[in-house]
Amino acid sequence: MANFGSWTTPITSELVVRAAAGLGGVSIHGDTVTWAEQRPEEGGRTQLVRRTGGGPAVDLLPAGANARTAAHEYGGGAWWVAGDTLWFTDWADQRLYTLTGSEPPVPMTPEPEMPRGDRWADGCVTADGRWALLVREHHPAGGGPAAVVNEIVVLDVSGRLAPRVLVSGTDFVSDPRLSPDGARLCWLQWSHPDMPWDGTELCVAGLAADDTGPVLGSVTVVAGRPDSAPGGTGAGESVSEPRWADDGALWFISDRTNWWNLYRWLPAVDRVEAMVTLDAEIGGPQWVFGQSSYAFLSGGRIAFVSSRDGLGYLAVRLADGRIVDLDVPYTSFASIRADGDRIVFIGASATTEPAVVAVSVDDAGSVTSSEMLRAPRDLGLGTEWFSTPEPISFPTSGGRTAHALFYPPTNPDATGDPGELPPLLVLIHGGPTGAARPMLQLGTQYWTSRGFAVVDVNYGGSTGYGRAYRNQLRRQWGVVDLDDCEAAARWLAEQGRVDPARLCIRGGSAGGYTTLAVLAFRDTFAAGASHYGVADLEALATETHKFESRYLDGLIGPYPERRDLYVERSPIHHVDGFDRPLIVLQGLEDEVVPPNQAEMIVDALRAKGVPVAYVAFEGEQHGFRQAPNIRRALESELSFYAQVFGFPLPEGEHVAPVSVHNL
C-alpha cells in the first residue's frame, strides 16, 4: 500500500515519448498505403511512410523534411498522392513539393514575398496530371490577420505558368474536389464570424479549360447555410467532407437535423437525399484540412465512423441501405479510406495506441480479414496497467446533463492506503469545440498508474452529442464549461470515488482557459495546470490568427461591442480570485495563444503571493511536439502536485523538480 500519487509505475515520462508516433492521414491506392507519423524523438517532425503489399514500411521524406502546413495554424491536408507522385508542404518554408521515386523533393510553388507567406493545403490533381487545385493561405508582408487571404488556386504542374486564383471572395475555403469526369469542381466556403461547425456552404461549378488551365462556370450552392442571425444563434448548417462517388453523386456530411449525418446531392435532378441518419455524430469539427470520416467501397457500399456516448464505431452502409456495425476491437477511428472491399483507417482502443489497420468486408458487411499495417509500439506492458474509460453522465447547471470519460486509478502492484481516496485530475479538452478521445493515451495512464483518478469532461459545447449540445456553449464560454467541470468533480466526490479535498483541473489551449477561469472564479479545485491556456480573452480576440479571430463572437459575443463580457470572464482581470496553486506550461513560438498571456497571469500570481510555477519551452508552438519538452512538462506537473499535496514521488524514478514560487 502507498499514498495515491506515489505509486511506482513503469509508465514514466521517458516511456510516454520513447518511439512514440502520432499517426495522421492515410491514403490507399490498390495495395499501396501511405500514412503520416509525427515523431517527437525527431523534433516533432511529420514523416510520411509507405507500404506496398506485404513489403516493409518505408520512410519517404529525406532527413529534415517535415510534411506539415501552417494553414489555419492547425494545418491538416499537408500531403496527398496523385499517381506515382507524392505532394507535400514542408514546414520550414511552407512551399509545396513533389516527390517521385527516389528523386529529391522538387519545389512546385514560387518563393513567397515573405518567408512562409504562402501556405498550401488540401489539394487534388486533374486526371491528366497537368494541373493541381488546392488551397493557398496568403500572408502579405506587414499585414495582420485581416490581411490574410484564403483562396483556391490552380497550379501548373509543368511550372510554365504562375499560380492562378480560381475561387476567392469568402474568408475561408477548403476541400476542392474534382468530379470523376473532371467536369465539375466542388468546395466548401464560409466567412466570419462563422466557424466551419457553425455554417458552411457546399458549392459546385462546372469546369472547362483553356490555355491557362481549369476555368469555373456558374456556381451553385447545393447544401449548407451560414449562421444567419448576427453573432450566430445556431441556425446555420455545417457541411463538411464533400466527396464525389464514381456515379457522379456528391456525398457530404451535414448537421441539418441536429446530428452530423451522411447525405448526397444528385446533379441530374438537383436533389439532396439523406443516406445515413442516426442519432450519432458522423465526422467532427473541421479544425484541420483533409479529414475523412467515410469512404466508398465497391458495390455501392459506404464505410463510415460515428460517435455515440463518447465512443467511436465503424460501420458499413450496404447497397440496400442497411447499416452494419463492423466487428473490430477499436473505440477511436480516424482517416477512413477505402479501395474495393478494403478499408484502411487509424484505429485505437482503451488498451492499444493508434495503429494503421486494414480490414476487408464482404457484401453483407462482415469482416473477412484484418491486417495491422503499422502496429502500435511495443510498450512491454500488459493491459492490467491500463485504466479503461467509463462513459459517465451527470447532472449539471440549468437542469442539463453533461458527459465524460472516467479513468479510475489502476496499478496491478499498488493499492491506496486504507481510508484514503485518490486525488482527481479533471481533464478539459481543447477547442473548446472538441471532445475527449476514447483511446489509450500514455499521457493519461502516466497519472492513473500513479494513483490519480482522471475524468475527461465533454462539457456542454463539446462535439459528439449533436448540434444542440454543441450550441450550449454559445455566448456561454467561461460559464457552461466551468459549471460542467465542477459538476463532474463534485459528482465523483459524492459517489465516494475521489478525494473531495484533492480535486485538480488541467487542460491545454481552451482547456487551459477553463482551468484558469475556474481557479479565478470558483472554489471547487485545490490546484490546477494550464498548458498554453488563454488568460486574456480580449488579447486573444485582437491578437490571434485569422482562422480563430472571430471565433469568440459565438462563444462570448461580438468584440468590441461586448467588451464587458471579455473583461468579466478573463482570468487576468480577476487575479484577486486566485488562491489555489497553479502551474503554467507554455511554448514560446505559440501563435494561437501568445506567450505574453501565460506570462501576464504568472507575474500577477507571483505578485499576489499565490503558489505558481512557470515552465516555458523554446521552439514549441501550440502544443508540445518535441520529446524532451513532453517529458519535462509531465515531470514538472507531477513534481508540482507532489509539492502541493505533500506526497512522495515514486521510489527509484527520477523526476525533474519544478520550482514553485510562494509555496
- What residue segments make up the domains of the chain, in order of their start? 382-645
Backbone angles phi, psi at 355, to 5 degrees: -140, 155
At 228 the pLDDT is 65
Residue 187 banded pLDDT, cuts 50, 70, 90:
very high
With a cut of 70, say whether residue 232 has pLDDT above it: no
Facing residues of 178 across strands?
Answer: 185
Tell me, what DSSP letter sits at residue 127?
T
With a cut of 70, say whether residue 401 has pLDDT above it: yes
At 101 the pLDDT is 87
At 658 the pLDDT is 96
Question: What mean pLDDT value characterizes the chain?
Answer: 95
- What cell does 2 get? 502507498
At 102 the pLDDT is 85
Average pLDDT over residues 384-401: 97
Name the pTM for this structure.
0.94
pLDDT single digits (tens) 194-208? 999 999 999 999 999
pLDDT single digits (tens) 462-519? 999 999 999 999 999 999 999 999 999 999 999 999 999 999 999 999 999 999 999 9
Q: Give the count of beta carbons closer than 10 Å to the beta carbon of residue 57.
A: 16
What residue has cell string 515519448? 17
Q: How many Å separate Cα 452 from the centre of its chain?
A: 25
Facing residues of 347 across strands?
Answer: 333, 355
Are the beta carbons of 482 and 459 closer than 8 angstroms?
Answer: no
Q: List strands edge to edge, sheet with 85-89.
A: 79-82, 85-89, 96-100, 106-107
With a cut of 60, say whether residue 177 has pLDDT above it: yes
At 502 the pLDDT is 98
At 89 the pLDDT is 98
Residue type, 80: W
State whether residue 349 is helix, strand or coil: coil
pLDDT single digits (tens) 593-610? 889 888 988 998 999 999
Give, for 379, the enclosing helix (H) or strand (E). Answer: none
Average pLDDT over residues 28-57: 94
Are the beta carbons of 72 and 52 closer than 8 angstroms?
Answer: no
Average pLDDT over residues 335-344: 97
At 233 the pLDDT is 57
Are the beta carbons of 406 and 382 closer than 8 angstroms?
Answer: no
Residue 520 banded pLDDT, cuts 50, 70, 90:
very high
CA atoms of 86 and 241, how far apart (whole Å)? 21
With a cut of 70, say whether residue 1 has pLDDT above it: no
With a cut of 90, say whether residue 651 has pLDDT above it: no
Residue type, 618: E
At 144 the pLDDT is 83
At 234 the pLDDT is 60
Least confident of 147-161, 223-237, 243-257, 332-346: 223-237
Residue type, 234: G
pLDDT single digits (tens) 205-228? 999 988 889 999 999 999 999 986
CATH topology of domain 382-645: Rossmann fold (3.40.50)
At 497 the pLDDT is 97
CA atoms of 347 and 335, how far apart (whole Å)? 9
Least confident of 351-355, 362-366, 536-540, 641-645: 536-540
Average pLDDT over residues 549-573: 96
Residue 189 banded pLDDT, cuts 50, 70, 90:
very high
Dmax (CA) for the chain in angstroms is 80
With a cut of 60, say whether residue 445 has pLDDT above it: yes
At 577 the pLDDT is 93
What residue has cell string 492547425? 74
